[in-house]
Structure 1
Amino acid sequence: MDDDSPSARWEQRTEIPLFLASLIFLGAYAARVLAVSMPDAWKDLCLFTMLALWVLFAIDYVVRWRLSGQRFPRFARTHFLHTVVVILPLLRPLRIVPLYDVIQRRQGQPRLSLHARVIAYASLATMLLGFAGALAVYQAERGAPGATMRTFGDALWWTAATLTTVGYGDITPVTTRGRTIATGMMAGGLALLGAVTGSFSSWLLEIFSRESDTKPPES
């Protein structure tokens, strides 16, 4: 039976618009980081857009808390991802699971199997995490003394090596902020890639097991 609580109704109405807002936030941040020669007026517009969207995310967080009827410490613990994305709005696009749940309620039963949904979510979340992380690290490392990350291409290369746990070591963060971001990306990348490989392995085992069950016995 569907949840018809005020909190569930609020989530169903706002999840898609807020996800689109998070993509706009990410685009505005990317423009400020990458478009170095952009006029100051456009940079100010991007900054205003980011601040306005952050306020929107904060309002959504407060509304969800009030609708939950919980004390704030308990709400912050039980809604950990909500709390993180308010503090770090660049990670807001990672809220793909609630978005999918809202779309599923509107369209009926899911068309993808559980394994396929986990693989698709984790893969997309890994790409979004990598792009956001590359932007943040590049902004922290650009122009720093002794930095080996000189272009955004270097940042993307470093991100790919970090998320896949290869770690060539040819490009490494040298600033405290860059290393802090790198630590978070290592933890997030291991979790997401582990979900992909684990779900894919489970899916293969299920396929092979199903084929073995349907195979006629040997005479």
Structure 2
Amino acid sequence: MTQARYRDLAEWPLMATALVFLAAYAWQVVARLEGEAAAPFEVVMWATWAVFVADYLINLGLAPDRGRWFIWNLHELLIVALPFFRPLRLLRLVTVLSVLHRSVGDTLRGRVVTYVAGSAALLVLVGSLAVLDVEQHAHDAKILTLGDAAWWAITTITTVGYGDLYPVTPLGRLVAAALMMSGIAVIGVVTASIASWLVQRIELNTEAAVTASEEPVRSELAELLDEVAALRREIAELRGRGGGIVETTGPERG
């Protein structure tokens, strides 16, 4: 089996696994579960982490150039090697975006809708849960509820940054930095997609205008060609009769 074939087969199962992890993680963070109450959710998250580890190892084994694949996917290794950084494992949710993108298709409009709705919503949700997880128990924390976390994530991803809410822990600031860079990337992709769509529309309109302006010229040219063809036929007929034109006017000579 090739790596490309494996990715096609594993895409939807990995998406389902990522969503299961998101549900368990979100419930544990929002409900602030600890001890025995949090044990079932921890089991679910460790099980999903094991699936991600298996996926990493299979991809590494199937890669045509393992060294190159390893270098270009160090972030994957970071995710599976540091499971105690629970917010880091949320990066696995990018699988959801890749599946949605493939399902929508390759049209420019489809890409814009997918990235705007999917990426923005997912990044806000992930950023909110991650920062709330690491900040809600910190001393002098500013972000204490899911509402605060969502507001902070929205202002951060849109590069507004009011400054009323901000992380105070090192890991929370790391989450903030990742969210900032992700927000810039999403805005860049959306802007590029919209620009490409506008350029395409302009090219189509220009081509249609040129075609419309050429129609009268083409019609006149076709008429001229028909007239030239008729004249050629008449000349050919006259040549076939004797090669000249007999003059019938004027007085007769005896």
TM-score by length of 1: 0.83
Out of 3, 6, 16, the residue aligned to residue 2 of structure 2 is 6
Which structure has the bigger radius of gyration?
A: 2
Please identify, of 24-33 and 199-208, the stretch whose mean Cα deviation from structure 2 is larger.
199-208
Q: CA deviation at 1:133?
A: 1.3
Q: Aligned equivalents of 1:144 and 1:179: distance in 2? A: 13
Q: Does 1:179 align with 2:173?
A: yes
CA contact (8 A) 1:118 1:195 kept: no
* Equivalent position of 1:93 in the other structure: 93
* Equivalent position of 2:109 in the other structure: 116
Q: CA deviation at 1:60?
A: 1.0
Letter in 2 for 1:166: V
Structural mapping, 1:40-51, within 5 Å = 40-51=35-46
Q: CA deviation at 1:209?
A: 2.6
Letter in 1 for 2:113: A
Q: Does 1:137 align with 2:134?
A: no
Q: Does 1:153 align with 2:153?
A: no
Distance 1:193 1:10, change over 3 A: same
- Of all paired residues, the percent bearing the same amino acid is 33
Q: Aligned equivalents of 1:14 and 1:29: distance in 2? A: 22
Root mean square deviation, CA, Å: 2.5
Q: CA deviation at 1:217?
A: 3.3
Q: Aligned equivalents of 1:207 and 1:84: distance in 2? A: 43
Q: CA deviation at 1:70?
A: 3.1
Moved over 6 A (4+): none
Out of 172, 189, 200, the residue aligned to residue 195 of structure 1 is 189
Could you say which structure has the greater relative contact order, defined with CA pairs below 8 angstroms and 6 or more residues apart? Answer: 1
Q: Aligned equivalents of 1:89 and 1:136: distance in 2? A: 10
* Equivalent position of 1:70 in the other structure: 65
What residue ranges of structure 2 are gaps of 5+ in the alignment? 83-87, 217-254
Distance 1:119 1:42, change over 3 A: farther
Letter in 1 for 2:90: L
TM-score by length of 2: 0.72
What residue ranges of structure 1 are gaps of 5+ in the alignment? 105-109
Distance 1:39 1:154, change over 3 A: closer
Q: Aligned equivalents of 2:5 and 2:92: distance in 1? A: 20
Q: Aligned equivalents of 2:103 and 2:58: distance in 1? A: 21
Q: CA deviation at 1:150?
A: 2.2
Q: CA deviation at 1:99?
A: 2.8
Out of 31, 40, 64, the residue aligned to residue 35 of structure 1 is 31
Aligned residues: 206
CA contact (8 A) 1:26 1:90 kept: yes
Q: CA deviation at 1:52?
A: 0.8
* Equivalent position of 2:219 in the other structure: none
Q: CA deviation at 1:122?
A: 2.2
* Equivalent position of 1:107 in the other structure: none
CA contact (8 A) 1:12 1:102 kept: no
